[in-house]
């Protein structure tokens, strides 16, 4: 099932509201980021909720699909909404996304470097981040700044 593709066939590029779920995977004080293929930016693994999924199921599924890692013992990091949730993609598709972000230091598996959506995955120190996806900057910077959890924005 691909809810987004189905909806795009019905509404074209008009505004679509989505729920995105992602995980900040932390190891030894570093954050795992993926270098996206669709844009030359880095961000955390995650993606859009499919109908019937829970927030946790979405975050774990998307993270596994993109990284090969099985995240465990997730804690709520933050809930993100507001004007920064609006985006228009190069193809003209408009989206407003509410983001539910989790955090964990517990995960297993073998890290996949290149996949359908990413060139590579790498751990970064807070003071040595690459070019971050603008739509994820606020929660990545909340992690860098050790904001009080959970974050409600």
- How many residues appear in the chain? 153
Per-residue pLDDT of the chain (153 residues; tens, 9 = 90+): 588 899 999 999 999 999 999 999 999 999 999 998 878 899 999 999 999 999 999 999 999 999 999 999 999 999 999 999 999 988 999 999 999 999 999 999 999 887 777 789 999 999 999 999 988 999 999 999 999 889 888
Query: What's the CATH code, domain 3-152?
Result: 3.90.79.10
C-alpha 145/C-alpha 19 separation (Å) is 25
> Which residue, among 56, 64, 61, 65, has the nearest Cα to 103 in the 3D structure?
56
Alpha-helical (H) ranges within the chain are 3-11, 55-67, 137-144
């Amino acid at each position: 099932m691909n809810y987004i593709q189905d909806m795009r066939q019905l509404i074209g590029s008009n505004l679509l509201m989505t729920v995105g779920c992602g995980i900040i995977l932390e190891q030894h004080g570093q954050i795992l980021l993926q270098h996206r293929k669709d844009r030359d930016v880095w961000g955390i693994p995650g993606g859009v909720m499919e109908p019937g999924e829970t927030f946790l199921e979405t975050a774990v599924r998307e993270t596994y699909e993109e990284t090969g890692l099985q995240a465990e013992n997730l804690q709520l990091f933050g809930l993100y909404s507001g004007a920064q949730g609006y985006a228009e993609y190069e193809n003209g598709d408009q989206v407003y996304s509410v983001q539910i972000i989790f955090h964990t230091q517990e995960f297993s598996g073998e890290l996949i470097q290149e996949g359908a959506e990413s060139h590579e995955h790498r751990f970064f120190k807070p003071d040595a981040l690459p070019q971050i996806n603008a739509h994820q900057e606020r929660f990545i910077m909340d992690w860098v700044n050790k904001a009080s959890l959970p974050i409600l924005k």
